[in-house]
Amino acid sequence: MTETKPLRVGMVGYAFMGAAHSHAWRTAPRFFDLPLVPELTAVAGRNADGLRAAASKYGWNSVETDWRRLIERDDIDLIDICTPGNTHAEIAIAALEAGKHVLCEKPLANTVEEAEKMTAVAQAAAERGVLSMCGFSYRRTPALALAKRMVDDGRLGEIRHVRAQYLQDWLSDADAPLTWRLDKSKSGSGSLGDIGAHSIDAAQWITGLKVTGVSALLETFVKERPVGGDFVGLGGHGGADGPRGPVTVDDAALFTARFESTHDDGAAAGPIGIFEATRFALGRKNAMRLELNGTKGSISFDFEDMNSLQFYDAALEPDAGFRKIMVTEPSHPYTANWWPTGHGLGYEHGFTHQVVDLVTAIGAGEQPSPSFADALQVQKVLAAVEASADNASRWQNV
């Protein structure tokens, strides 16, 4: 019995995404047969006490208070970047140039320029067998992976409409404190890049079509927030009368989009889309929703009911209505490795499936998906949305 080689991971950052990724690195080899066995070799962060606590809680073998040490160490094969967007380019480029595979959280970067540089370095590294992926984890939700399978199998026919909403409400309280997600120099944008990016990637991936143009509207409802306060989850509550700092990103993003056509001769237009991303949809906690309407059928997904997919099949009698598919059958994506039919999965499983697909691709020496080039396309859409919102003409080609 040959010993399976380890894949020694060095993770940068240990907050929410660090926790989700740690869980995924530990769990993936326990439920899936992988060509390499992930090892939680080291976690890096700036605060030594917080870092040691996280290493102990999530099971990392060692700590580094400077991420550059992870790049220098020869006992690390892959760098997992779970830090704010303004750090992605420097870390990913250094890691790839040092011959380490990279998993980088979304969005890939804070600007198209950074994303282009990262993509060029990643493509050169891939020729040396050094591979990379961007962490658009919702692709690994079984119901969305099933939607992709159904579109690819022609069950919806030609797609006419894409309707994507990503609704959260953790900033509805005007006194929720100023965090890095509200500082453009760190996050790049607000709801647009943090959650809208997921909708853009999922829509492009499932339809197989790129966005070619947008017309957008961005809004910042609360212009200043408390500098400190009790941070709870992503938001929390700061003092109403303490010092306040400026919010420099969007609170909500709305945009229409055109997708490329499947007809090279331009005989028919591609799908048209409408996107909404906000953290002010009071009562909506993590409602990542996607509906596609095609010529043969429609699908509708809501992450707040993530183990099911609504499907309307035009081939059935018109009054058949939408059917609720419980995406828990062994024939569905990823589900055979977990529980018997009907028992369902959670948010964290998307990250575990992301590790499964990444490690499987690395083991096979194949380009993982989404690549940095796929993530660059999302970055171009984000930039076009911002340019359109800033531009009176409102229409921006991507």
Nearer to ligand SOE, 137 or 396 (CB): 137
Q: State the number of CA atoms in the 13 A half-sphere of 261 facing the CB.
A: 8
Q: Is the Cα torsion angle 342, 347, 352, 356 positive or negative in sign?
A: positive
Q: Using an 8 Å Cβ cutoff, are 297 and 157 in contact?
A: yes
In angstroms, give the least distance from the CB of 303 to ligand SOE.
9
Nearer to ligand SOE, 170 or 338 (CB): 170
Nearer to ligand SOE, 217 or 234 (CB): 234
Task: Give residues 16-55 in contact with ligand SOE (rule: CB under 6 A).
Answer: 16
Q: Of these, 194, 250, 251, 374, which contacts ligand SOE (CB under 6 A)?
A: 194
In angstroms, give the least distance from the CB of 106 to ligand SOE.
6
Give the span between the Cα atoms of 285 and 345, in whole angstroms.
18
Closest CA to 329 of 142, 185, 165, 178: 142
DSSP-derived 3-state class of residue 228? coil
CA 287 to chain centre: 14
List of residues 6+ apart from 161 with CB closer than 8 A: 271, 272, 273, 274, 291, 292, 293
In angstroms, give the least distance from the CB of 279 to ligand SOE.
7
Closest CA to 385 of 181, 218, 208: 218
Total of residues contacting ligand SOE (CB under 6 A) = 5
In angstroms, give the least distance from the CB of 120 to ligand SOE.
25
Task: Select the residue whose beta carbon is closest to ligand SOE and give its number.
Answer: 194
**Residue owning tokens 């480029």:** 93
In the chain, what is the greatest distance between 2 CA atoms, to the nearest angstrom?
66
In angstroms, give the least distance from the CB of 104 to ligand SOE.
12
Give the span between the Cα atoms of 378 and 191, in whole angstroms.
14
Q: Which CA distances in Å does 40 have to 10, 65, 167, 281?
A: 7, 16, 33, 37
Nearer to ligand SOE, 98 or 234 (CB): 234
In angstroms, give the least distance from the CB of 10 to ligand SOE.
21
In angstroms, give the least distance from the CB of 3 to ligand SOE.
35
Nearer to ligand SOE, 16 or 339 (CB): 16
Give the span between the Cα atoms of 108 and 79, in whole angstroms.
14
195 binds ligand SOE (CB under 6 A): yes
> What percent of the residues of the chain are helix, what percent strand, and what percent coil, each to the nearest 5?
35, 25, 35
Nearer to ligand SOE, 16 or 231 (CB): 16
15 binds ligand SOE (CB under 6 A): no
Nearer to ligand SOE, 121 or 206 (CB): 206
Q: Of these, 168, 187, 189, 335, which contacts ligand SOE (CB under 6 A)?
A: 168
In angstroms, give the least distance from the CB of 232 to ligand SOE.
14
Give the span between the Cα atoms of 254 and 122, in whole angstroms.
31
Nearer to ligand SOE, 137 or 371 (CB): 137
In angstroms, give the least distance from the CB of 114 to ligand SOE.
18
251 binds ligand SOE (CB under 6 A): no
Q: Using an 8 Å Cβ cutoff, are 270 and 210 in contact?
A: no
Cβ atoms within 10 A of the Cβ of 228, count? 13
Nearer to ligand SOE, 222 or 234 (CB): 234
Nearer to ligand SOE, 168 or 335 (CB): 168
Element (H or E) spanning 114, and its range?
Answer: helix 112-126
**Residue owning tokens 């929410």:** 16
Q: Of these, 234, 272, 274, 314, which contacts ligand SOE (CB under 6 A)?
A: 234
In angstroms, give the least distance from the CB of 193 to ligand SOE.
9
Which residue ranges make up the site for ligand SOE (CB under 6 A)?
16, 168, 194-195, 234
